[in-house]
Amino acid sequence: MNQKIIIEGGRKLKGEVTISGAKNAALKLMAAALILDDTCEIYNVPELTDVSTMAKLLQTLGAKVDYDKNEKKITINSENIDNVEAHYDFVSKMRASFIVLGSLLGRFHEAKVALPGGCSIGERRIDLHIKGLESLGAQIKIEGGYVIAKAKKLTGAKIYLDRPSVGATENILLAAVLAEGSTVLSNAAQEPEIIDLANFLNAMGADISGAGTSEIIINGVRQKDLKPLSYTTIPDRIEAGTYISAIMATRGKAIIRNIFPNHLSAVISKVIEMGGKISVLDPFSIEVACNGKPNAVNIVTQPYPGFPTDLQSPFISALAVAEGVSIVTENLYENRFRQMGELTRMGADVQQESNKAIIKGVRSLTGAQLIAPDLRAGVALIIAGLCADGVSEITDIHHVDRGYEKIIEKFSALGANIKRVDSEDNNIDAMINNMDETIF
């Protein structure tokens, strides 16, 4: 049964919310577990459909995977991997699973991985992945929708990325762990999730330095140098930023716990520019407050440490009820404004011009029936519903479940009137299909 979210808007968010482990870090740590021919335990792993998809993929490769919901711990034993093919059914659902390419190639010197899928937010090329892996000695071809990679051996190399791609950085890093010699990766992505992956691999026995800077050095180690480990995933900065934008949109005041504030520097800067107040309560908690109508601001998405592309959609919802005109420039993905039409149906004054969204703040939004087009656009519509007058119904919420753990419970704890119910869309579709065609 399909489900939908129903929101009665107009309530200021207040209270506190605890942020889950970072989805975009946990998924990569799970893929990295394939390098180890033993067991690893990963804590602070969110209970999400994407995590379930990755776990099922690892199982098809021969890994033993167990998830403890109470401890938020996933245990992975990759000793008996007997398959190096990551099937289309899994990789097409979630782009992050493409990162098993580097792990499998590094350990087994061969891999067959389906071309990636995930949210349709724009072109996400794999040219840099291929370029980097070929520099390490792999022979790669694309055939039948799969990337097929083989190598007699992998050897360290100097690699320069034409752009700081997160995925390419991760795949190259994973493949280079067991390569002979040293790899110097320049113009690397600097995201906190890259640092987390490097720290995880180092805890396993890898020799990696420079993660979090534009140059990462990976000194190859031997398989026997790697060892079992327990590791805790970093907090999810995107989830934290989402709740920050919701607090701003509803003119609320709430505490956000289990975060690394320095991961949100660009976001916090924009919140202050919008008229919000940020108080650091302790090294892992902040209080966010917005006492009046937010100010309009301009946002430009950039690779970390710039403003995250994953947060421009939620912030557009807050800017839709801000004072003045805002311009959001999207520099990474051309289809990242997929919620704009739905916002217009709620009374927002928004338009897209090329890679820019122009948002003229209105007095208020009005609840409406909405469709979530992808993960981040879906949560943007939830935020719009929270600050709107009246009731909003949002369908296709499976997108949101990919990236937000217990989102209904967390918003409810902040005072939102929000619930998840079974959708009647199936009944409506059946009714339409059964109608007499002659009436048309």
SS3 category, 394: strand
Query: pLDDT digit string (tens) for 141-170?
Result: 999 989 999 999 999 999 999 999 999 999
Query: pLDDT digit string (tens) for 174-197?
Result: 999 999 999 999 999 999 999 999
Tokens encoding 111: 């891999």
Residue 148 counted as domain residue:
yes
Q: Exposure pattern of 39-52 as b/e (b: 16+ CB <10 Å)? A: bbbbebbbebebbe
Q: Residue 438: its pLDDT value, please?
A: 45
Q: Give dist(CA 75, CA 228) in Å, integer.
A: 11
pLDDT over 70 (residue 436): no
Give me the domain span that covers residue 341.
3-20+236-427
Looking at the structure, tell me whether residues 251 and 177 fall in a common domain: no
Q: Give dist(CA 128, CA 164) in Å, integer.
A: 9
Question: Could you list the active site residues?
Answer: 119
* H helix intervals, 251-354: 265-273, 309-319, 340-345
Looking at the structure, tell me whether residues 11 and 83 fall in a common domain: no
User: Which is it for strands 391-395 and 3-8: parallel, antiparallel or unpaired?
Assistant: antiparallel
- Of the candidates 233, 232, 235, 289, the one whose C-alpha atom is nearest the C-alpha of residue 258 is 235
Looking at the structure, tell me whether residues 240 and 347 fall in a common domain: yes
Name the one residue in this structure whose structure tokens are 């995880």: 200
CATH of the domain at 177: 3.65.10.10
Residue 435 counted as domain residue:
no
- Of the candidates 163, 162, 186, the one whose C-alpha atom is nearest the C-alpha of residue 173 is 186
Mean pLDDT estimate for the chain: 93
Residue type, 25: A
Q: Give dist(CA 58, CA 53) in Å, integer.
A: 9
Query: pLDDT digit string (tens) for 400-413?
Result: 999 999 999 999 99
Which pTM was predicted? Answer: 0.94
Number of independent structural domains in the chain: 2
Looking at the structure, tell me whether residues 27 and 16 fall in a common domain: no
Residue 434 counted as domain residue:
no
Residue type, 2: N
**What is each CA distance from 377 to 18, 129, 404, 413, in whole angstroms?**
22, 27, 13, 22
Residues 6 or more apart from 230 whose CB is under 8 A from it?
40, 41, 42, 43
Residue type, 191: E
